[in-house]
């Protein structure tokens, strides 16, 4: 018997999409789940999967995969394909878990709900952010009435992911190099609304009923010009108890993935960069208490999982439902509640910010009205970002060049240049010596890296000069305007100045 469930029953699981999909392999071990199969269209992900699960069945063919002997499928393929893949997996007789989000248009949502209802199988959305230690602690206090009625909350999923728009999940640049990521490159961040709205719903036990949003026209350079993933996407959501949530997914220059502030009528809480704080007393000025939270149970397993333990709990709830019938938090109906506000926020934006009612897809009459609603998706073809007949000897360098300029770990390329130049500007005002040393270390790394950064920038200029009116050409032109490109191209001079600064601290 496993340490978690009081049964010997096992769940044979196949993983469809082996990027994010592979991060569940470890937690599965604790939860009566045997990972027996994998499917990915990209060879390096299949190779990595077979290293992680030796002996498993692995294929690039989804029909062969779905025909394999297994009880359940975890879907972590490209986001725009999720609804199609959920329906196909259910029709093959499997229980289904799907990564966020499960659909991108209201019509797809209707089809998914009907497929789940018809199948009689378990469906869970893999929305993990409500199940961090702090959020589960808050949920318990909220259920106990500690915070009173939910009044207002600000929930954020801020994740600047430029690199992810030019790479595969393993960090390799997109192939061929003149293409960009299948869906992230053109994503309107409103679609990715569940990591912030999900915690608001689960903590407070409320459901969204109306949404309104306005365009933010200012974007961060380095994303493909015109892409709506390059900015903050706030919306205001009315919940069914009358309280308000400002829900904000987006890319910013101060990300914290899961920032939040929340007010009840008795107490309030906030979590930004440095842990959870609760303010008690029920007035505006009560004491603010720093919290040290604990898991409600199963700490030994939750502590080992990714996303602050959230990856363990979402898998746990699914396995529990399959093995014991006890319902999980993210069945198909709350999955619709948490997904539709993002889709309809875009509609509100397009209509100048007017509030849009969020349908309850539990109600057949309400969802019937959305059967043919194909949403407001505006995506460009990620394989056609250069004009027809482009010279691949030049354009094939694009994805690799962008990843060199914006590396995944944010400690190289243009991130490093900015960190050093701006760090030097405010250096005399930095309060602590650890931060000062960090800027000095970055300057030493920049001295070492600058010749290579200059070479990359020259390749970028070649692409821009060849195709100035293409999306990549405009993207690179914006980068040139934004950064101190002279400091890169005249790197010998810059290196001299940096070395002088490192000895005298005068630039």
Ligand X SMILES: NC(=O)c1ccc[n+]([C@@H]2O[C@H](COP(=O)([O-])OP(=O)(O)OC[C@H]3O[C@@H](n4cnc5c(N)ncnc54)[C@H](O)[C@@H]3O)[C@@H](O)[C@H]2O)c1
**Could you give the residue ranges of the DSSP H alpha helices within 92-193?**
106-119, 133-143
The C-alpha atoms of residue 201 and residue 422 are separated, in whole angstroms, by 39
Closest CB 23 distance from ligand X, rounded Å: 7
Min separation Cβ 54 and ligand X, Å: 19
Interaction between residue 180 and ligand X (CB under 6 A): no
Closest approach of ligand X to the CB of residue 89, in Å: 11
What DSSP string describes 352-394?
TS--EEPP-TTSHHHHHTTTT--TT-----TT-SS-TT--HHH
Binding track, positions 433-472, relative to ligand X; x by CB under 6 A: ----------------------------------------
235 neighbors 268 (Cβ within 8 angstroms): no
Min CB(136)–ligand X separation in Å:
16
Q: Roughly how many angstroms between the first and final C-alpha of the chain, as a whole number?
A: 65
The answer to whether 76 contacts ligand X (rule: CB under 6 A) is yes
**Matching residue, tokens 């790394």:** 445
Q: How far is the CB of 19 from ligand X (least distance, A)?
A: 2
> Which residues within the stretch 5-34 sit at the binding site for ligand X (CB under 6 A)?
16-20
CB of 92 to ligand X, least distance (A): 14
Q: Cβ closer to ligand X: 196 or 268?
A: 196
Comparing every residue's Cβ against ligand X, the nearest one is 19
Least separation in angstroms between residue 160's CB and ligand X is 14
Q: Which of 5, 42, 57, 427 binds ligand X (CB under 6 A)?
A: 42
Q: Of all helices (H) and strands (E), which one includes residue 247?
A: strand 244-250
Q: Identify the CA nearest to 202 among candidates 297, 294, 96, 334.
A: 334
Among 14, 161, 169, 259, the residue binding ligand X under the rule CB under 6 A is 169
Please state the closest distance from residue 307 (CB atom) to ligand X, in A.
Answer: 5
Q: d(Cα 350, Cα 235) in Å, to the nearest integer? A: 13
* Number of residues engaging ligand X in binding (CB under 6 A): 22
Beta carbons of 442 and 416 less than 8 angstroms apart = yes
For ligand X, the closer of residues 62 and 160 by Cβ is 62
Residues 6+ apart with CB under 8 A from 500: 506, 507
62 binds ligand X (CB under 6 A): yes
- Torsion on CA atoms 495, 501, 504, 507, rounded to nearest 10: 120
Give 112 or 487: the residue with its C-beta nearer to ligand X: 112
Opening angle at CA 433, ends 429 and 437, nearest 5: 100
The answer to whether 135 and 197 are in contact (CB under 8 A) is no
| Span 397-426, contacts to ligand X by CB under 6 A | none
Q: Which of 79, 112, 115, 125 binds ligand X (CB under 6 A)?
A: 79
Nearer to ligand X, 77 or 196 (CB): 77
- What is the closest distance, in whole angstroms, from the C-beta atom of residue 254 to ligand X in the complex? 20
Cβ(74)–Cβ(21) below 8 Å: yes
- Segment contacting ligand X by CB under 6 A, of 24-32, 71-79, 280-288, 473-481: 71-79
Q: Is 40 in the site for ligand X (CB under 6 A)?
A: yes
Pick one of 35, 36, 45, 209: the residue that binds ligand X (CB under 6 A).
45
Q: Which stretch binds ligand X (CB under 6 A): 35-43, 130-138, 139-147, 256-264?
A: 35-43
Q: Judged by CB, which is closer to ligand X: 47, or 81? A: 81
202: enclosing H helix or E strand: helix 194-204
The distance of closest approach from Cβ of residue 384 to ligand X in the complex, given in angstroms and rounded to an integer, is 18
Stretch that binds ligand X, among 36-44, 104-112, 256-264, 432-440 (CB under 6 A): 36-44
Q: Up-side HSE of residue 136: CA atoms within 13 Å toward CB?
A: 21
Site for ligand X in 302-341 (CB under 6 A): 307
> Which of the stretches 75-83, 153-161, 290-298, 452-460 binds ligand X when contact is defined by CB under 6 A?
75-83
Binding to ligand X in span 89-118, by CB under 6 A: 99-100
Other Cβ atoms within 10 Å of 179 Cβ, number: 21
What does each C-alpha distance from 126 to 101, 202, 418 come to in angstroms? 8, 13, 36
Write the CB contacts of 74 (distance below 8 Å, at least 6 apart in sequence): 13, 14, 15, 16, 21, 24, 96, 97, 98, 99, 126
Report in angstroms how near the CB of residue 484 gets to ligand X at its nearest: 33
Which tokens hold the place of 313?
């709990």
How many beta carbons lie within 10 A of that of residue 369, not counting itself? 11
Q: Do residues 74 and 50 lie in contact, with contact meaning Cβ atoms separated by under 8 Å?
A: no
Query: Token pair for residue 447?
Result: 């001295």
| Residues at the interface with ligand X (CB under 6 A) | 16-20, 39-42, 45, 62, 76-79, 81, 99-100, 126, 128, 169, 307
């Amino acid at each position: 018997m496993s340490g978690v469930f009081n049964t010997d029953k096992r769940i044979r699981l196949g993983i469809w999409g082996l990027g994010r999909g592979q991060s569940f392999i470890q937690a599965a071990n604790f939860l009566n789940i045997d990972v027996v199969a994998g499917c990915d269209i990209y060879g390096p992900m299949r190779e990595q999967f077979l290293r992680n699960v030796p002996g498993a069945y692995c294929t690039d063919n989804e029909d062969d995969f779905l025909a394999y002997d297994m009880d359940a499928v975890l879907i972590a393929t490209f986001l725009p394909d999720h609804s199609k893949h959920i329906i196909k997996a259910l029709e093959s007789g499997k229980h289904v878990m799907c990564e966020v989000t499960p659909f991108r248009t209201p019509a797809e949502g209707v089809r998914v709900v009907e497929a789940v209802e018809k199948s009689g199988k378990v469906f869970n959305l893999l929305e993990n952010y409500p199940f961090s230690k702090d959020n589960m602690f808050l949920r318990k206090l909220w259920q106990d009435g500690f915070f009173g009625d939910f009044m207002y909350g600000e929930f954020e999923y801020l994740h600047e992911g430029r690199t992810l728009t030019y790479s595969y999940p393993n960090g390799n640049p997109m192939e061929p190099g003149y293409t960009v990521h299948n869906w992230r490159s053109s994503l309107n961040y409103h679609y990715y609304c569940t990591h912030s709205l999900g915690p608001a719903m689960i903590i407070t036990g409320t459901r969204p009923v109306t949404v309104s949003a306005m365009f933010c026209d200012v974007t961060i350079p380095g994303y493909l010009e015109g892409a709506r993933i390059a900015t903050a996407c706030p919306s205001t959501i009315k919940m069914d108890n009358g309280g308000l949530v400002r829900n904000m997914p987006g890319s910013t220059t101060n990300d914290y993935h899961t920032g939040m502030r929340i007010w009840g009528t008795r107490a309030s809480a906030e979590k930004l960069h440095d842990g959870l704080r609760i303010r008690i007393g029920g007035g505006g000025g009560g004491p603010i208490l720093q919290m040290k939270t604990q898991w409600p149970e199963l700490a030994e397993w939750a502590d080992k999982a990714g996303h602050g333990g959230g990856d363990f709990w979402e898998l746990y709830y699914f396995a529990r439902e399959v093995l014991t019938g006890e319902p999980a938090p993210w069945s198909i109906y709350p999955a619709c509640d948490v997904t539709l506000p993002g889709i309809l926020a875009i509609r509100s934006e397009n209509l100048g910010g007017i509030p849009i009612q969020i349908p309850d897809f539990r109600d057949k009459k309400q969802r019937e009205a959305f059967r043919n609603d194909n949403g407001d998706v505006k995506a460009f073809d990620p394989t056609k970002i250069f004009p027809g007949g482009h010279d691949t000897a030049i354009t094939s360098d694009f994805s690799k060049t962008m990843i060199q300029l914006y590396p995944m770990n944010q400690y190289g390329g243009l991130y490093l240049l900015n960190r050093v130049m701006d760090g030097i500007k405010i250096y005399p005002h930095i309060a602590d010596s650890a931060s000062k040393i960090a800027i000095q270390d970055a300057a030493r790394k920049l001295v070492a890296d600058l010749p290579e950064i200059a070479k990359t920038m020259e390749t970028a200029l070649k692409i821009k000069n060849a195709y100035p009116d293409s999306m990549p050409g405009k993207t690179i032109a914006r980068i040139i305007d934004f950064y101190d490109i002279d400091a890169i191209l005249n790197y010998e001079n810059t290196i001299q100045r940096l070395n002088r600064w490192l000895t005298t601290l005068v630039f």
